[in-house]
Chain A
Amino acid sequence: MGRIQLEKVTKSFGEVNVIPPLDLEINDGEFVVFVGPSGCGKSTLLRLIAGLEDVTSGKIEIDGTNATELAPAQRGLAMVFQSYALYPHMSVRKNIAFPMKMAKVPQDEQKRRIDAAAKALNLTDYLDRRPGQLSGGQRQRVAIGRAIVREPQAFLFDEPLSNLDAALRVGMRLEIMELHERLATTMIYVTHDQVEAMTMADKIVVLRAGHIEQVGSPLELYHNPRNEFVAGFIGSPKMNLLKGDTARQHGAATVGVRPEHIAVSTTEGLWQGKVNVAEHLGSDTFLHVNDHGLGSEPLTVRVDGELPVKHGDTIFMTPDTSKMHRFDDEGLRL
């Protein structure tokens, strides 16, 4: 089924080497998320798998067959684009039917698949509308519908939720996860949003400048980040990275403490600091603490939403040393 293997894949645009030799294995039925800061090559990697870009060297295998030289349409993959890329002059029905029309699927089979997809995606009432008459979330669903009817080996999503508003994004996130549960098809999902990565993925691939920094399940990355970059990238709010004396006390060049692993008290504690900004989310409050004497960067700590603290208050903080991450000079985990 949808097993995808990359062997020593590289990609250069002229002189610029975007992806250095890269190996990756994606198992059948997995939900894999490529995550990383913008410009890290995650979209390029997806487009290489899709066949929209040619690899400079290396090999791409899909289901054990060499797909490196295959045209995009012959790889059996379906892609959902960031801009949805719906055909504006066709009705929703024709948009969804287009890949089947190209594959010369019989009419009654086309109709059956369109109806099934429309039902699954709540699009039945909109089949005769044009994409321009739909809302952002509906367009997104049409794009997914167009991908589903091809019954592909794997789905590729290129930052599909970045054009939606926050509430809709959470809803669509759930819908895509439900879709994955139901179809049990391999899905590769590109995002720069680590929350999406954490919530959706079976396996996260963290990329930086074309390199794979770490591959693993969300909690693996959260608990055992391989290096400083992954530690700082995964988790929200970001991990506090401390250098200098504090780190030396623990025998490392850098130590990382997550905001949720620092106990806060108004009376006593290991570190002392002044609250600069308090972000009240209701259930939690994130405090940005200055003047803590541990470095120039403000510390971020998470406290219970009930704790009454405000700008200018002095607080005491104690890190949970058992959950501290230690890194060496090169940023690698000790």
Chain B
Amino acid sequence: MVVPYPVHSEPERPLMATQHSRAAARLMISPAVLLLLGWMLIPLCMTLYFSFLRYNLLMPGMEEFTGWMNYRFFLTDPAFMDALVNTLLLVGGVLLITTVGGTLLALLLDQPFWGQGIVRIMVIAPFFVMPTVSALVWKNMFMNPVNGLFGHLFQSLGLQPYDFLSQAPLASIIFIVSWQWLPFATLILLTAFQSLDQEQLEAAEMDGAPALARFWYIMLPHLARAITVVVLIQTIFLLSIFAEILVTTGGGPGTASTNLTYLIYMQSLLQFDVGMGSAGGVVAIILANIVAIFLMRMIGKNLDA
């Protein structure tokens, strides 16, 4: 026999009071919300508006509506495909280096050794150096074929100095950006390592898992969430890498190290074409969202508890 579950009516609550306080709360947070909305929406709408205008700063007062022309020119520009590929290579390359390198470095730093505290702080240091500064240091002090340390190293070995930034511009930039972001990945992954239950590792050891199997079956799954966080946060920042390109290669040679951000900069500020630059911006927003959707599909489930 099924015993009917007793259904109680909701007890009377002081409705008025909560309604009033809710209304007051909405009223009081509205300035902040409106400010944030304006902050985001006005530039977005203006960018959208400009992207449909023929708007060149060299021809002031001649703005007129051109429909999709800006988009057509931007998307059919041969530099666009190069920039798109470069952007993906840059983001993918840096992500690969920082997550793999960060995992290994965090694994190393998690071991007890003498001077652990100081070493940890030193590892994190590159993250505090401004992008322009670190890129310039790498460009002038390391990668320069005449004065750079790598050049000297090559010469001392009797080899021809290698001009990194003109022979392999994109790879060099990937390397510089990876150097900047490796500490971030290491830091997040180190905290993840530290939260791993040591008894699990001991249990795995008792179960006959050698070190590599313990890493693969116990540690990596435990790190999945932290790696997801690293990948998502870094992707946001890496899609808009700009300063490192500006101060090292200037997007060249040709378009070899031009990414989307840098292409938009060239269109709008070097060619004074505000309309085209805006169209590029809108394209970049759409691409960033596509990347975000792909990422969330692939690894977003790691974030669920």
Residues of A within 8 A of B (CB): 50, 52, 71-73, 77-79, 81-83, 85-90, 98-99, 102-103, 146, 150
Contacts and interface: CB of A to CB of B under 8 A. Distances in A.
A50 B206 contact: yes
B81 interface: no
B120 interface: no
Interface string B277-288: 000000000000
A28 to B, nearest CB: 20
Contact of B206 (A73, A87, A89, A90): A73
Contacts of B209: 73, 98, 102
Contacts of A86: 200, 203
Contacts of B253: none
B200 A102 contact: no
Contact of A89 (B207, B208, B221): B221
Contact of A82 (B199, B208, B217): B199
A103 B209 CA distance: 8
Interface residues on chain B, size class: 10 to 19
A98 B206 contact: no
Contacts of A85: 197, 199-200, 202-203
25 contacts: A50-B206, A52-B206, A71-B205, A72-B202, A72-B206, A73-B205, A73-B206, A77-B206, A79-B202, A79-B203, A81-B199, A81-B202, A83-B197, A85-B200, A87-B203, A87-B218, A87-B221, A88-B222, A89-B221, A89-B224, A98-B207, A99-B206, A99-B207, A99-B208, A146-B207
Interface of B: 197, 199-200, 202-209, 213, 217-218, 221-222, 224
A153 B199 CA distance: 21
A98 B206 CA distance: 11
A52 B202 contact: yes
Nearest to A80: B203
Contacts of B203: 79, 81, 85-87, 146
B202 A73 contact: no
Contacts of A89: 221-222, 224
B98 to A, nearest CB: 23
Give the dominant DSSP class at A's interface. loop
Contacts of A87: 200, 203-204, 217-218, 221
B204 A98 contact: yes
Contacts of B200: 85-87
A100 B204 CA distance: 11
Contacts of A52: 202, 205-206
Give the dominant DSSP class at B's interface. helix
B205 A150 contact: no
Contacts of A103: 208
Contacts of A81: 199, 202-203
A98 B209 CA distance: 9
A52 B204 CA distance: 11
A169 to B, nearest CB: 20
A48 B222 CA distance: 27
Contact of B208 (A83, A88, A102): A102
A88 to B, nearest CB: 8
A98 B217 contact: yes
Interface centre among B207, B218, B222 (most CB of A within 10 A): B207
B74 to A, nearest CB: 45
Interface centre among B202, B203, B218 (most CB of A within 10 A): B203
A72 B200 CA distance: 14
Contacts of B217: 87, 98
Contacts of A50: 206
A246 to B, nearest CB: 48
Given A50-B206, A82-B199, A103-B208, 4 more contacts: A73-B209, A85-B200, A86-B203, A102-B213
A73 B208 contact: yes
B104 to A, nearest CB: 21
A99 B203 CA distance: 10
A13 to B, nearest CB: 13
A85 B199 CA distance: 6
Interface centre among B205, B213, B221 (most CB of A within 10 A): B205
A81 B205 CA distance: 13
Contacts of B205: 52, 71-73
A170 to B, nearest CB: 25
A102 B197 CA distance: 20
A146 B202 CA distance: 14
A199 B56 CA distance: 90
Contacts of B218: 87
Contact of B207 (A73, A82, A83): A73
Contacts of B207: 73, 98-99, 102, 146, 150
Give the top 9 A-B pairs by smallest Cβ distance, nearest first. A73-B208, A85-B203, A99-B207, A85-B199, A89-B221, A102-B208, A81-B199, A85-B200, A79-B206
Contacts of A83: 197, 199
A247 B207 CA distance: 54
A82 B217 CA distance: 21
Nearest to A103: B208
A50 B204 CA distance: 13
Nearest to B203: A85
A331 B200 CA distance: 42
A253 B209 CA distance: 55
Nearest to B221: A89
A83 B200 CA distance: 9
A188 to B, nearest CB: 13
